[in-house]
Amino acid sequence: MNDLYRRISKDDAVVLFVDHQTGLISGLVRDYGVDEFKNNVLALANTAKFFDIPVILTTSFENGPNGPLMQGLTELFPNAPMISRPGQINAWDNEDFVNAIKATGRKQLIIAGVVTDVCVAFPALSAVNEGYEVFAVADASGAFSEQVANGALMRMAHAGVQIMSWFSVASELQRDWRNDQEGFGNLLAGHLAGYENVIGTYMGAQNDVKK
């Protein structure tokens, strides 16, 4: 019997950012507000950086209306492989993209992109067929509507893709609060307004105790 709960390992994972391009985000993402969506994408990016997980970036038709990659991603990962696909809609159809993944030697793929039902679903399903373990990050992926996103997530889940949020990815990698509690807390506080309030309340209480 296969294990139903297979955890992400920071030693076997790679994060794939597929087509987080300015034109696509502003024109096609409707299941999240633009600011909320960008926050979620950068939260996943900072999670990868915090846990020192390799990242691969890819764009499609970036010299056209799709536009360039989000500036925050290129700033965070200036040395990450950047695959500019000349036309392939499914990133898995691009040999350079697949070879960049294979070069990492890792078998767990954490994937997010724009749009969910195409740019995430197509390579995710292709990777499952190739024997990879795939985790799709729902809130760092955007679609035309919630209905479209839900249909795509259901399709992937039926094929064995695990559906997660950036927060659940970060928490599963962290494993235990005692593993750099301050660093992990700062990661969460930087992207979760509610958790920033938790940290503020805790620090205030600590200061009161010291007095």
Report whether pLDDT(178) > 70.
yes
For residue 1, pLDDT over 60 is answered with no
- pLDDT of 19: 98
pLDDT tens-digit series, residues 23-80: 999 999 999 999 999 999 999 999 999 999 999 999 998 888 899 999 999 999 999 9
CB 21 within 8 A of CB 114: yes
Whole-angstrom distance, CA of residue 179 vs CA of residue 170: 12
- What is the amino acid identity at position 192? L
Comparing 205 with 190, the larger pLDDT belongs to: 190
Which is nearest to 129 in space by CA: 149, 143, 109, 113?
Answer: 109
pLDDT digits (tens, 9 = 90+) for 99-111: 999 999 999 999 9
Q: What is the dihedral of CA 143, 88, 71, 10, to 10 degrees?
A: 80
Reply yes or no on whether the pLDDT at 17 is more than 90: yes
pTM of the model: 0.92
Q: Once rounded to an integer, what is the mean pLDDT over residues 152-161?
A: 97
Residue 58 sits at φ, ψ, to 5 deg, of -150, 150
Residue recorded with tokens 């500036």: 71
Query: Domain map of the chain by residue range?
Result: 13-175, 176-211
For residue 205, is pLDDT > 60? Answer: no
Name the nearest CA neighbour of 188 among 44, 75, 16, 70.
44
> Which pLDDT value is given to residue 75?
96
| Cis-peptide, bond into residue 98, ω within 30° of zero | no
pLDDT higher than threshold 70 for residue 181: yes
**Catalytic-role residue among 13, 16, 119, 140:** 119
Higher pLDDT, 208 or 69: 69
Backbone angles phi, psi at 180, to 5 degrees: 55, 65
- CA gap 164, 7 in Å, rounded: 11
- Under the banding of pLDDT at 50, 70 and 90, the label for residue 6 is confident
Mean pLDDT of the chain: 92
Q: Which amino acid is at 40?
A: N
pLDDT of residue 198: 66
119 in catalytic set? yes
Burial of 173: CB neighbours in 10 Å, binned 0-12, 13-18, 19+:
buried
> What architecture is domain 13-175?
3-Layer(aba) Sandwich (3.40)
Instruction: Please enumerate in sequence order all residues whose Cβ is within 8 A of that of 185, keeping only pairs 6 or more positions apart, or say none.
Output: 195, 199
User: Above 80 in pLDDT, residue 204?
Assistant: no
